[in-house]
Structure 1
Amino acid sequence: MASETNPKQATPTWKSLETLIAVFAIFMIALHLVLRFATGSSPAMANVPLLAVLTFGGIPLVWDLLKKLLRGEFGSDLLAGISIVTSVLLEEYLAGSLVVLMLSGGEALEAYAVRSASSVLRALSQRMPSVAHRKQESAIEDIDLNDLAIGDIVAVFPHEICPIDGTVIEGHGVMDESYLTGEPYMMSKTPGSSVLSGAINGESALIIRADKLAVDSRYAKIMEVMEASETQKPKMRRLADNLGAWYTPLAVAIGSAAWIATGNPVRFLAVMVVATPCPLLIAIPVAIIGSISLAARRAIIVRDPSSLEMADTCRTLIFDKTGTLTYGEPKLVDRVCVDPSRDREILGVVGSLERFSKHPLALAIVTAASDAGCPVQSVSEISEPPGKGLRGTVANRTVEVTSRKKLLAQQPELASQLPPQAGGLECVILIDGGYVATYRFRDTPRRDGASFIEHLGPRHAIRQTMMVSGDRESEVRYLAEQVGIDDVYFSQSPEQKLEIVNAETAKANSIFVGDGINDAPALMAATVGIAFGQNSDVTTEAADVVVLDSSLQKIDEFLHISRRMRRIALQSAIGGMALSIVGMMLAAGGFLTPVAGAICQEVIDVAAVLNALRVALPPGSMIDFEPAETEYS
């Protein structure tokens, strides 16, 4: 009964049946060829395997196609069903068995490649711990996550995933919340800080108080949104179905007219044999498989074949911010010094000290000092108490790196000397107790971001580009100005991202590009979802396309592969159908017998498939915008 009440459960069962039919058909067709040509068996004996294919494989397929006919669906596979029936009536059992193989095999291959909602939800659930470390007095016990109550005290050990939404009551450390919030930085956690379920803890253990039940946590809500996004995504009409919608009625009309005009049913059968839609059933899948292979060689994994058909029809491109249009890591972008002439001196001193720090911004300072050619100086008496900043002695000078808040708490008189607070993150520098500089950090834009955005309209007919991010307004607007995007949404939760993508997709086919768990619902809801990198199993499961080498050039290559696939697939399909229509007219006029029509159709099929195979040959270039000289992630 479950299959009748839950369509999601019925689909895998039917796809599994088609896989079994395809395997059975291959085996039986091979047995037929052995019996006919290797053993010299009688035609009746050699046809037994083919009759088995038509009985056990053809009947279920034809029955499913009959139900489509009753629903008013006239796709290319419906004509294949008519061809199966026609082949039986004509006693062309091998032709009918090949049609069964093409129909079931194509569906089985596609089912293997297409992702399902269950795999995304499974990846989500596997990422979260099933137990929590509850602390009672001095003892810690592991309990089921669902048994946690509001107010329970929970220990989160280093590098663990936080199991619950809560508040830090003991410990100092950092957490990686980027997959959930879009913030590209490790976030400092001290007593009083809030923590989110699903965030990855840093080097220090934290003690938190549970503020919500597991079923009400942020992570659980994302899972709920994921389920909703799958059910809300409309089923896309495939390229073969669009062509078959007019080709199938036309073929039936020609065959019926020939039968009625001559009173000879053989004319109808001859037309049906010629009309077998092999250019649709074979040429288009061949073009898709060839394009998937070409994309894979370019470090682009196509998980849903329909994305290749749909990408070139998309007119809206929606970006997440962090890790897609940015590099996803903080960079030192501004050094505001009290004495600008000491800028390089201060950078060298601070860079030497930060080599010994585990703070998330330390690497950005060390990298900037190295790029500026600052010499490494001797450091001693290093201390970095959790939440207190970094202190040490560099070349006999006391150097301290701390925050604006901590500095003003100790020396409020320095408020007038500090520059206005800007977007991004910052730290303040003191040498020998005196304030000398403020360093500012941002997640920097990709260097080819602006040229990529600019070329989307003229080259790919993208009418609207948008940025939808969970990051703060200052960060989102800063990046939007850098790359040339006017339509921006900031501080967006996964639920809000999903609503925006659904609304835009209702207006025009859309592409969403993201890389975090908070992007997964939007990736599933868009016409085509593209995931950058392999930061999360959840994200890659939700996406239709995964770009392994995080680069905007790869998105451009995918768009070109999609356009080229559609062009060659349409050439093969429409060209093959045009030749088939000529053959149908000859068959209707009595110039082609059913056997001759079958031979004619085979010639047309070979021509269509050979043309479709061109798609796997890499063209000279698949990038038509000015890329950065050096791209890295």
Structure 2
Amino acid sequence: MEHSTGGSLEKALLVVALGGLAGGLVLAFGSGRPELASIVWLAGAVPVLAGLLVEILRSLLRGEVGLDIVAALSMSAALLFGETLAAAVVAVMYSGGTFLESFAEGRARREMRDLLARVPRTATRYHNGALEDVLLDAIAPGDRLLIRQGEVVPVDGTVSSASAFLDTSALTGESLPVKVANGGEAMSGSTNAGDAFDLVVTRPAKDSTYAGIVRLVEQAQASKAPMSRLADRWSLAFLLATVAIAVSAWSFTGDPIRAVAVLVVATPCPLILAVPVALVAGLSRAAHYGVLVKGAGPLEALARARTLILDKTGTLTDGRPQIVSIDAHGGMEVDEVLRLAAALDQATKHPVAQAIVAAARERGLTLTVPREVAEIPGEGLVGLVEDRPVVVGGHSFVTGRLGMTAAEYPALAAGSVLVAVGADGKLVGHLIMADPLRDGTDRMLSRLRRQGVSRILLATGDRQEVAKRIAEGLGLDGIRAGLTPDQKVLLVLTERKRGPVMMVGDGVNDAPALAAADIGVAMGVRGAAASAETADVVLLVDRLDPLEAGVEIARGARRIALESVVAGIGLSVAGMVAAALGYLTPVQGALIQEAIDIAVILNALRALRIFPAETTEPTPAVGSRAFQKRVQP
């Protein structure tokens, strides 16, 4: 059912139609004035019919034909042949169905509205030793903000207090507050669940995670699904069938009331009601689990995906190097090797250095501020840590600085990185680092296969040996390594010949492939903005497992929509046949059809109750690396 009027007008039409029906019934059966009852029924039906005709005209101007025409035909025919009671019943049921559809869609969008309603407008900023309230547009990277208890974090930033407890449930579905240590990143849109803390801004408000989420939600709310367009095409066929049955019933029996009954029992069609309600409900459920689908169309595409193509770095893997092991030399303790390296590495933003600093902080090591630091790009760092000369970098660079012969280090696994540490003129240790596979990836891929994804490929620009090592034990159907962005696009286009393709990536180089796929999925927390803008689906947490929940919800919502359509159309056709054979009067047909409409709407709302299968992964301990990964943008 198409309607462009606001909820207040829908409610007003329903009140008028109900008043007309009730008033006429009182006059007809309470006071014995059937002639006046007919006038009151007419008065209740005509405003609804007028509003319906205006809506039909608007739809025709947009090139859309729907079953609202059947509703107009049934009311017009009932009034023409003196069936004013039937016209009043149809008016009540039509206006009631329109109002119920609006109410149902409103309930389905509730979680998205809650997300939009949480958008903060101002923030409290430190300025010249005082606090001031400023508009978000006035905030710039580097500003320090005060986030009070209960306030929503307005922009992305890093925690400059000792720690912060953040409630990310509105964004990720994470039920428990998470602890973010000093220097950790706080995602905009999360709520301060602990004491007040200071936040150093890293992105302008317009580029923040939460602002991007809100833009995507608004796009999702304005979308129309391919299933809805398909429903419009079906509605034209159903309209022709309805008119044919009505004309046939009139022609063979000579009774125009049978034609009226046929038209009435077909008004309006659950085909139009069920699809948008079920899919909008699916959008709401997916957002609750940290999967932001940009519209009902992408939700349906997500439900039909048969091939999954995964990028490696930042998608299949964490995208951030982690310390695998530490080799200490010359009697130095492992923690001391890490502390010296991390203290010096505070002076650079290199990803490997930042991973070393993070690892040291997780172990509770105290890091002093280095002095006289010099960075040799692509090689390493030299400087003073507590007046001790320290050098950190590649094995050859460090040994060269120490005046040593660069002895061969044992061969590392493909994709690993070796970081050497020197102190006081001696080689004191090595850090072996790697970009590991995300936890639970194998289980997630297995569950996706059970949901109908029959083919899974790895597509990466990395070397073949690195890709093979990462993919070991995952049971992938293929590995494509050394790919350029245009080669990833070609792979997607080739795989589309087998069926709908879902591509998951996070980098700028993945954006073209995401656009070429039937459904593009971006890692939205730390992924490139180009990928998030291009993709159809954005994962709001730095994990892959929400994707499995999103696919399950999409399939469930689509299945519920189709079930509602098939059941509703089947019952409508049966009712039309019964009316054509004279078993239903127009009033009875109207009541039966609207009962069908209410049933399919309520069935479509079952999509709000889709609960994806729980993962078997344990909840990470607060402060652990796995725990921090859940909140780091």
**TM-score tier (shorter):** 0.5 to 0.7
Q: Distance in 2 between matches of 1:98 and 1:537?
A: 47
1:71 is matched with none
- The answer to whether the aligner puts 1:527 opposite 2:511 as a matched pair is no
Determine which of 576, 585, 597 is the counterpart of 1:584: 576
**1:452/1:35 CA distance change after superposition, 3 Å:** closer
Q: What does 1:103-142 align with in structure 2 at a 5 Å threshold?
A: none
- The answer to whether the aligner puts 1:89 opposite 2:77 as a matched pair is yes
Q: Distance in 2 between matches of 1:537 and 1:307?
A: 19
1:604 is matched with 596
Q: Distance in 2 between matches of 1:337 and 1:267?
A: 93
1:26 is matched with 10
**1:628/1:525 CA distance change after superposition, 3 Å:** farther
Q: What does 1:435-474 align with in structure 2 at a 5 Å threshold?
A: 435=427, 437-457=429-449, 459-474=450-465
Which AA in structure 2 matches 1:542?
Answer: T
SS where residue 420 of structure 2 aligns? strand
Which AA in structure 1 matches 2:585?
Answer: T
- Deviation for aligned residue 1:587: 0.5
Q: Distance in 2 between matches of 1:576 and 1:272?
A: 15
**1:275/1:504 CA distance change after superposition, 3 Å:** farther
Q: Distance in 2 between matches of 1:346 and 1:241?
A: 68
- The answer to whether the aligner puts 1:273 opposite 2:264 as a matched pair is yes
- Deviation for aligned residue 1:551: 2.6
Q: Distance in 1 between matches of 2:495 and 2:13?
A: 48
**1:283/1:521 CA distance change after superposition, 3 Å:** same
Which AA in structure 1 matches 2:305?
Answer: C
- Deviation for aligned residue 1:448: 0.7
- The answer to whether the aligner puts 1:614 opposite 2:616 as a matched pair is no
**1:334/1:541 CA distance change after superposition, 3 Å:** same
Residue segments in structure 1 that go unaligned for 5+ positions in a row: 1-17, 69-76, 114-157, 160-202, 204-234
1:320 is matched with 311
**1:319/1:377 CA distance change after superposition, 3 Å:** closer
Which AA in structure 2 matches 1:292?
Answer: L
Q: What does 1:189-588 align with in structure 2 at a 5 Å threshold?
A: 236-237=226-227, 240=231, 251=242, 254-276=245-267, 278-335=269-326, 346-355=337-346, 357-369=348-360, 376=366, 381-385=371-375, 387=377, 389-393=380-384, 398-404=389-395, 406=397, 414-420=405-411, 422-435=414-427, 437-457=429-449, 459-481=450-472, 483-535=474-526, 538-588=530-580
**1:102/1:529 CA distance change after superposition, 3 Å:** farther
- Deviation for aligned residue 1:357: 4.8
**1:582-618 deviations in whole A, cap 9, x for unaligned?**
2112111011122321111011222222333333235
Which AA in structure 2 matches 1:578?
Answer: G
- Deviation for aligned residue 1:19: 7.0
Q: TM-score, normalised by structure 1?
A: 0.63
SS where residue 328 of structure 1 aligns? coil
**1:340/1:237 CA distance change after superposition, 3 Å:** farther
Q: TM-score, normalised by structure 2?
A: 0.63
Q: What does 1:147-162 align with in structure 2 at a 5 Å threshold?
A: none
- Deviation for aligned residue 1:319: 2.0
Which AA in structure 2 matches 1:303?
Answer: K
Which AA in structure 1 matches 2:580?
Answer: A
- Deviation for aligned residue 1:326: 2.3
**1:593/1:379 CA distance change after superposition, 3 Å:** closer
Q: Distance in 2 between matches of 1:375 and 1:45?
A: 81
SS where residue 323 of structure 1 aligns? helix
- Deviation for aligned residue 1:628: 5.3
- Deviation for aligned residue 1:96: 7.0
Q: Contact conserved, 2:522 with 2:539, CA < 8 A, in 1?
A: yes
Q: Distance in 1 between matches of 2:49 and 2:618?
A: 61
Q: Distance in 1 between matches of 2:234 and 2:22?
A: 41
- Bigger drift between 536-545 and 581-590 goes to 536-545
- Bigger drift between 579-588 and 39-48 goes to 39-48
Which AA in structure 1 matches 2:574?
Answer: V
- Bigger drift between 346-355 and 307-316 goes to 346-355
Determine which of 596, 606, 616 is the counterpart of 1:626: 616
2:54 is matched with 56
Q: Contact conserved, 2:332 with 2:428, CA < 8 A, in 1?
A: no
**1:310/1:394 CA distance change after superposition, 3 Å:** closer
**1:88/1:248 CA distance change after superposition, 3 Å:** closer
Q: Distance in 2 between matches of 1:380 and 1:612?
A: 62
- Bigger drift between 269-278 and 421-430 goes to 421-430
Which AA in structure 1 matches 2:597?
Answer: D
Q: What does 1:175-194 align with in structure 2 at a 5 Å threshold?
A: none
Which AA in structure 2 matches 1:318?
Answer: I
Q: Distance in 2 between matches of 1:253 and 1:63?
A: 25
Q: Contact conserved, 1:302 with 1:545, CA < 8 A, in 2?
A: yes
Q: Distance in 2 between matches of 1:405 and 1:263?
A: 100
**1:267/1:502 CA distance change after superposition, 3 Å:** farther
Which AA in structure 1 matches 2:439?
Answer: R
Which AA in structure 1 matches 2:249?
Answer: A
**1:482/1:333 CA distance change after superposition, 3 Å:** farther
SS where residue 295 of structure 2 aligns? coil
**1:442-474 deviations in whole A, cap 9, x for unaligned?**
3222111122123322x2121111223345545
Q: Distance in 1 between matches of 2:365 and 2:15?
A: 77
- Deviation for aligned residue 1:256: 4.9
Q: Distance in 2 between matches of 1:550 and 1:405?
A: 35
- Deviation for aligned residue 1:480: 2.2
**1:236/1:370 CA distance change after superposition, 3 Å:** same
Which AA in structure 2 matches 1:317?
Answer: L
Which AA in structure 2 matches 1:553?
Answer: D
Q: Distance in 1 between matches of 2:371 and 2:303?
A: 60
- Deviation for aligned residue 1:491: 4.4
Q: Distance in 2 between matches of 1:367 and 1:397?
A: 22
For the aligned residues, what is the CA RMSD?
4.5
Aligned positions, number: 485
SS where residue 327 of structure 1 aligns? coil
**1:28/1:249 CA distance change after superposition, 3 Å:** same
**1:515/1:381 CA distance change after superposition, 3 Å:** closer
**1:412/1:80 CA distance change after superposition, 3 Å:** farther
SS where residue 447 of structure 1 aligns? coil
Which AA in structure 2 matches 1:87?
Answer: M
Which AA in structure 1 matches 2:549?
Answer: E
- Deviation for aligned residue 1:483: 4.0
Q: Distance in 2 between matches of 1:486 and 1:628?
A: 28
Q: Distance in 1 between matches of 2:486 and 2:12?
A: 51
2:118 is matched with none
Q: Distance in 1 between matches of 2:472 and 2:280?
A: 39
**1:398/1:315 CA distance change after superposition, 3 Å:** same
- Deviation for aligned residue 1:254: 4.1
